């Protein structure tokens, strides 16, 4: 088979771009903004939102086809990329400000989004056909759960702070930044999984957020060495994210087709474990110790319920739309 030959889906993306027009460009830009917001909020899935907006498959094909037909696929992806950037920056700025005022409220909202995404994994779980398969599924689930929950606990107990390592230029922050970008982008491709949540699981979400936004960001450090190190970390995050998108567009097709059930057992374990790490990590644990106002806890509990319901309904709506399209 000729690898340079474009698939029908790849041909479709450039054709859509050529017929898009100004109105279509701004419509796709708005879709990109919603994808950016969902990618920035832990617990929300950009993949799920893309499915709901009926742009998931064209986006995956457009990304996968960049190597073969770069110009046409890039033009198709451009408004989505611009919107993604605008939406993510706006959401992250709001999250950074809001977390300073009401940390438990935001955590409750994020955790509700995570809980609401669980049905997307539950419907994929099936019992194994043999005792060996069942054992593998249990082990995958348990390890994923312990990994996600344990990372949050470790960052809390050891008070992990990315900013504290910038001036010292500890060597491991560079590969960690590259890996963080790759994991976040990879997770964004899977409907039901949140890229931001994956950063929270590995203890990198708020450190990266504070690196860019707020009074403690690298732009206010007044130290050229810290600024240079911070910019390098951001570049490594970007490189990791680009690699993650390309790898995910190919790897997820193989992984979910050959090991679908085991993959979703792992995803289910990560989601449950992340619920623990979101309420017990290096960012929020010191705030518990300092004391939070009662209204913060009450509002967080309310948003936990509302956001869980909202994400659940979004996923259910996406599934029904996809089912109608398939029929």
- DSSP codes joined into one string, 262-320: HHHHHHHHHHHHHHHHHHSSTTTHHHHHH---HHHHHHHHHHHHHHHHHHHHHHHHHHH
Whether residue 13 has pLDDT greater than 60: no
pLDDT digits (tens, 9 = 90+) for 212-221: 887 778 887 7
Helix axis angle for 70-101 and 205-212, nearest 10°, is 90
d(CA 51, CA 57): 8
Nearest CA to 240 among 171, 198, 188, 183?
A: 183
Asked if residue 160 has pLDDT above 50, the reply is yes
**pLDDT score recorded for residue 305:** 95
Tokens of 260: 């679908």
What average pLDDT does range 283-293 have in this prediction? 86
Which pLDDT band, with edges at 50, 70 and 90, does 121 fall under? Answer: low
pLDDT at 201 over 70: no
pLDDT tens-digit map of 239-270: 998 888 788 777 766 766 777 777 778 778 87
Give residue-wise pLDDT tens across range 223-242: 777 788 888 888 998 899 88
CA-to-CA distance for 128 and 207, rounded, in angstroms? Answer: 40
- pLDDT score of 322 more than 70: no
Range among 165-179, 223-237, 278-292, 300-314 rated most confident: 300-314
| Domain regions of the chain by residue span | 8-326
37 vs 165: which has the higher pLDDT:
37
pLDDT recorded at residue 129: 67
**Per-residue confidence band for 124, with pLDDT thresholds at 50, 70 and 90:** low
Q: Which of 50-59, 102-111, 142-151 has the lowest mean pLDDT?
A: 50-59
Enter the DSSP assignment of 218: G
Q: Is the pLDDT of residue 295 over 90?
A: yes
Report whether 65 contacts 11 (CB < 8 A): no
Distance of CA 129 to the CA centre of its chain: 32
50-69, pLDDT tens digit by residue?
Answer: 766 778 778 877 877 777 78
């Amino acid at each position: 088979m000729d690898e340079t030959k474009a698939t029908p889906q790849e041909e479709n993306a450039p054709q859509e771009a050529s017929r898009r027009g100004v109105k279509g460009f701004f419509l796709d830009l708005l879709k990109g903004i919603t994808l950016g917001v969902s990618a920035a909020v832990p617990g929300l899935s950009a993949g799920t939102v893309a499915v709901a907006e009926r742009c998931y498959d064209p986006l995956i094909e457009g990304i996968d086809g960049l190597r073969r037909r770069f110009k046409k696929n890039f033009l198709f992806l451009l408004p989505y990329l611009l919107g993604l950037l605008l939406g993510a920056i706006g959401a992250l700025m709001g999250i950074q400000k809001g977390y300073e005022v009401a940390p438990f409220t935001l955590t409750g909202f994020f955790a509700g989004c995570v809980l609401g995404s669980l049905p997307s994994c539950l419907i994929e779980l099936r019992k194994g056909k043999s005792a060996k398969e069942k054992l593998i599924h249990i082990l995958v689930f348990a390890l994923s759960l312990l990994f996600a929950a344990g990372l949050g606990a470790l960052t809390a107990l050891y008070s992990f702070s990315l900013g504290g390592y910038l001036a010292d230029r500890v060597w491991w922050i560079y590969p960690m930044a590259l890996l963080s970008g790759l994991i976040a982008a990879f997770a964004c491709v899977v409907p039901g999984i949140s890229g931001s949540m994956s950063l929270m699981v590995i203890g990198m979400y708020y450190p990266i957020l504070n690196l860019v936004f707020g009074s403690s960001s690298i732009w206010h450090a007044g130290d050229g060495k810290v600024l240079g190190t911070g910019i390098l970390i951001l570049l490594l995050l970007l490189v990791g994210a680009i690699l993650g998108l390309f790898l995910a567009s190919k790897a997820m097709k193989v992984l979910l087709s050959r090991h679908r059930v085991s993959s979703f057992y792992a995803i289910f374990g990560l989601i449950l474990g992340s619920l623990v790490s979101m309420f017990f990590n290096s960012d929020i644990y010191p705030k518990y110790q300092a004391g939070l106002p009662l209204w913060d806890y009450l509002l967080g509990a309310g948003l936990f319920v509302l956001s869980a319901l909202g994400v659940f309904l979004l996923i259910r709506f996406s599934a029904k739309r996809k089912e109608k399209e398939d029929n």
